[in-house]
Amino acid sequence: MAFFGNGDKINVIAEIMAKSGCEDAVRAMLTSLVEPSRKEKGCKLYLLHEDKKKPGSFWTYEEWTSEEALEEHLVGAKGMLEQAKPLLDGDLKLTVLNLLV
């Protein structure tokens, strides 16, 4: 998987939508990933957000030092994402951002 960033970091937004009735379980799974992700080599920032008006709609905003660091993170998170798949409304959407200004 190839990603492109600007300068010394890769910026990522992940969008995760829980199925109706599964919001608490998905929230718990995602929350449990935050601290381990922040401790990973190459993680500069890892924030988890939930839409105030639409519980169960989650986003992460992440900054990684390199494409390799992001790829390592995704390999490590793959198991948790597979477990969460039956609880999700659709697939995880990953957007890699290129900083313009």
* Domain count for the chain: 1
Query: CA 28, CA 10: separation in Å to the nearest integer?
Result: 26
Check residue 2 and give its pLDDT: 46
Residue 4, in any domain of the structure:
no
Residue 2, in any domain of the structure:
no
Residue 3, in any domain of the structure:
no
Instruction: Count other C-beta atoms under 10 Å from residue 6's C-beta.
Output: 11
Residue 33, in any domain of the structure:
yes
Check residue 78 and give its pLDDT: 84
7 dihedral zone (left: phi>0; alpha: psi -120 to 50; beta) = left
Residue 5, in any domain of the structure:
no
Tokens of 28: 């718990």
Q: What is the pLDDT along the chain (101 residues), one digit of tens a residue?
A: 444 444 568 999 999 999 999 999 999 999 999 999 999 999 999 999 999 999 999 999 999 999 899 999 999 888 888 889 999 999 999 999 987 87
Residue 28, in any domain of the structure:
yes
Residue 60, in any domain of the structure:
yes
What does pTM read for this prediction? 0.86
Residue 78, in any domain of the structure:
yes
Range of the domain at 79: 10-97
CATH number for the domain spanning 73: value is 3.30.70.100
